[in-house]
Amino acid sequence: QVTLRESGPALVKPTQTLTLTCTFSGFSLSTSGMCVSWLRQPPGKALEWLALIDWDDDKYYSTSLKTRLTISKDTSKNQVVLTMTNMDPVDTATYYCARMPYSRTFDIWGQGTMVTVSS
Amino acid sequence: DIQMTQSPSTLSASVGDRVTITCRASQSISSWLAWYQQKPGKAPKLLIYDASSLESGVPSRFSGSGSGTEFTLTISSLQPDDFATYYCQQYNSEWTFGQGTKVEIK
């Protein structure tokens, strides 16, 4: 059974750096073609893709956010970590990680973690 | 960036109705399109990929069609479990979503 679970702070202050961890099971990120992405969804709004890391450690970032994002993986721990710098209230959202076979669709998602940016 | 536009934004329907949601891409994406269902407080669920392929375990009342820039998701006979928000997503160039279509009870 494939599962993903996001973890991280529920509340961050403006200008702080957010660090989120995706811990997964049931698949390996060292398998050729396998990828994991981070996405977010502000309250009542649409989904937005943020970043992707693949089995070969290639990384891709949203054009609008790439200066603020860093994605990394620890294959031995089955974890993918996202950092987002200089957090702002507009970054308040539910953040999801999702599995992406062959970097196409998001076929399995975590349950999401709500992050609020407020002083 | 490729922009995805869904219509309508909200759709009111009754159980048993045939429902169609449209998704348009700002440029051709071939058949690189997926559809997701999301219920309140839950993560999205993949329904359709490659524009018309049904994800394993998804009921056959869901179907997708289209190519290029215009796509549709059809629910042949709406069931109580289908009231949700639906999103299209392109994967031709990076990954972008439509703004969503909420299917509500009439």
Q: What is the pLDDT of residues A61-118, one digit of tens each?
A: 999 999 999 999 999 999 999 999 999 999 999 999 999 999 899 999 999 999 999 9
A110, closest residue in chain B (CA to CA)? B43
Chain B CB within 8 Å of residue A111 CB: yes
pLDDT at position A79 is: 98
pLDDT at position A103 is: 85
B46 to chain A, closest Cα gap in Å: 6
Of B30, B40, B31, which Cα lies nearest the Cα of B83? B40
Residue pairs spanning A and B at CB distance below 8 A? 50
Q: Which of B32, B43, B97 sits opposite A109 (nearest CB)?
A: B43
Q: Is residue A46 classed as helix, strand or coil in its secondary structure?
A: coil
The whole-number average pLDDT for the span B12-22 is: 97
Chain B CB within 8 Å of residue A46 CB: yes
- Residues β-bridged to residue A114: A94
Q: Which of A49, A104, A112 sits opposite B49 (nearest CB)?
A: A104
The whole-number average pLDDT for the span B31-35 is: 98
Q: What is the 3-state secondary structure (H, E, C) of chain B?
A: CCCEEEECCEEEECCCCCEEEEEEECCCCCCCEEEEEECCCCCCEEEEECCCEECCCCCCCEEEEEECCEEEEEECCCCHHHCCEEEEEECCCCCEECCCEEEEEC
Residue contact B96–A49, C-beta within 8 A: yes
pLDDT at position A63 is: 95
The whole-number average pLDDT for the span B6-31 is: 98
